[in-house]
């Protein structure tokens, strides 16, 4: 009886461990969380570099810029949508450490390293070694969108 329970426990632990693959943390649809993004930017050096007029205009510009952005992450593909434009990018997991997942994305014959940080409350951020355009964006999992 004890041996049987140990086998069942081992199998359950094995399947639980397998279900926690790095991709599972990423897979899904993500939209920009305007409020969290604005907080992040206000606490950054970027905000300090803006003059008063730019600070007044910034919330509206940010909302317009990010309102139609989504990222859908599948097992080996990321689909970024900005307005009506779709960008499909293949990727692979390079490494994982805690809530940080490093991927290699293949963009128009070039490789880019994208580092994702999984945050609390279904949020995440990511950076790229090729650009800093997305560094301050905070993304939230879009639970209404099924892939």
Number of H helices, E strands in the chain: 5, 8
Reported pTM = 0.79
Is 52 domain-assigned? yes
Average pLDDT score, the chain = 84
Note whether residue 5 is domain-resident.
Answer: no
- Helix or strand holding residue 11 (H, E): helix 2-18
For position 7, what pLDDT does the model report?
A: 45
The reply to whether 11 falls in a domain is no
Asked if residue 105 is part of any domain, the answer here is yes
Domain assignment present for residue 6? The answer is no
| Angle (deg, nearest 10), helices 52-66 and 34-42 | 150
Rg (CA), the chain: 19
Domain tally, the chain: 1
- Residue 12 falls within a domain, yes or no? no
Q: For the segment 104-145, what is each residue's pLDDT rounded down to a tens digit?
A: 999 888 999 999 999 999 999 999 998 888 889 999 999 876
CATH of the domain at 78: 2.40.128
Whether residue 4 lies inside any domain: the answer is no
CA distance 94 to 102: 5
Task: Tell me the residue range of the domain where 86 lies.
Answer: 22-141
The answer to the question of residue 15 being in a domain is: no
What percentage of the chain reaches a pLDDT higher than 90? 62
Is residue 147 pLDDT above 60, yes or no? Answer: no
């Amino acid at each position: 009886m004890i041996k049987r329970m140990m086998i069942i426990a081992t199998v359950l632990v094995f399947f639980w461990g397998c279900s926690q693959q790095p991709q599972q943390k990423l897979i899904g649809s993500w939209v920009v969380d305007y409020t969290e993004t604005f907080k992040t930017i206000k606490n950054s050096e970027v905000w300090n570099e803006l003059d008063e007029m730019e600070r007044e205009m910034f919330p509206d510009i940010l909302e317009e810029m990010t309102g139609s952005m989504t990222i859908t992450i599948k097992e080996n593909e990321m689909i970024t949508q900005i307005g009506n434009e779709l960008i499909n990018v293949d990727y692979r997991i390079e490494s994982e450490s805690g809530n940080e997942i490093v991927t290699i994305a293949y963009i128009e014959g070039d490789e880019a390293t994208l580092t994702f940080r999984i945050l609390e409350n279904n949020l995440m951020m990511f950076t790229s070694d090729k650009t800093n355009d997305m560094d301050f964006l905070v993304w939230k999992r879009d639970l209404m969108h099924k892939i």
